[in-house]
Amino acid sequence: MAGATGVVGAHVVRLAADAGHDVAPLSRATGTDVATGAGLADALDGADAVVDVLNVSTQQTDVAQRWFRRTTEHLSAVARHLVTLSIVGIDGAASGYYAGKVAQEQALAAGPAPWTLLRATQFHEFPGQMARRLGRGPFVVVPAMRTATVAAAEVAAELVRLAEGPPQGRVPDLAGPQDAELADLVRAELAVQGKRRLVVRVPLPGTEGRRMRHGLLPGPDARRVGPTFDAWLSSR
Ligand SMILES: NC(=O)c1ccc[n+]([C@@H]2O[C@H](COP(=O)([O-])OP(=O)(O)OC[C@H]3O[C@@H](n4cnc5c(N)ncnc54)[C@H](OP(=O)(O)O)[C@@H]3O)[C@@H](O)[C@H]2O)c1
Reported as a single tens digit per residue, the pLDDT across 105-141 is 999 999 999 999 999 999 999 999 999 999 999 999 9
The rounded distance, in Å, linking the Cα atoms of 176 and 124 is 8
List the Cα angle 121/81/33 in 5-degree steps. 75
What integer pLDDT is reported at residue 58 of this predicted model?
Answer: 96
What integer pLDDT is reported at residue 30 of this predicted model?
Answer: 87
218: cis peptide before it, omega within 30°?
no
What integer pLDDT is reported at residue 214 of this predicted model?
Answer: 86
Is any atom of ligand 1 closer than 6 Å to the C-beta of 83?
no
**Which residues, given as ranges, of the chain have pLDDT below 50?**
none
The rounded distance, in Å, linking the Cα atoms of 125 and 164 is 26
CA 17, 3, 107, 42 torsion: positive or negative? Answer: negative
What integer pLDDT is reported at residue 94 of this predicted model?
Answer: 93
The rounded distance, in Å, linking the Cα atoms of 122 and 148 is 7
Q: Which of 43, 116, 24, 37 is nearest to 77 (CA)?
A: 37
Is any atom of ligand 1 closer than 6 Å to the C-beta of 65?
no
What integer pLDDT is reported at residue 189 of this predicted model?
Answer: 97
What integer pLDDT is reported at residue 55 of this predicted model?
Answer: 98
The rounded distance, in Å, linking the Cα atoms of 170 and 83 is 10
What integer pLDDT is reported at residue 39 of this predicted model?
Answer: 87
* CB-based contact 174:222 (threshold 8 Å): yes
The rounded distance, in Å, linking the Cα atoms of 3 and 191 is 30
Domains along the chain with CATH numbers: 7-235 (3.40.50.720)
Residues 6+ apart with CB under 8 A from 166: 81, 114
Task: Judge residue 219's burial from the number of C-beta atoms within 10 Å of its C-beta, 0-12 exposed, 13-18 middle, 19 or more buried.
Answer: exposed
The DSSP bridge partners found for residue 174 are 120, 223
Mutate to test the pocket of ligand 1, among 8, 88, 174, 186 (most ligand atoms within 8 A of CB): 8
Q: How far is the CA of 55 from the centre of ligand 1 (A)?
A: 3
What integer pLDDT is reported at residue 215 of this predicted model?
Answer: 84
Mutate to test the pocket of ligand 1, among 33, 34, 55 (most ligand atoms within 8 A of CB): 55
* CB-based contact 23:1 (threshold 8 Å): yes
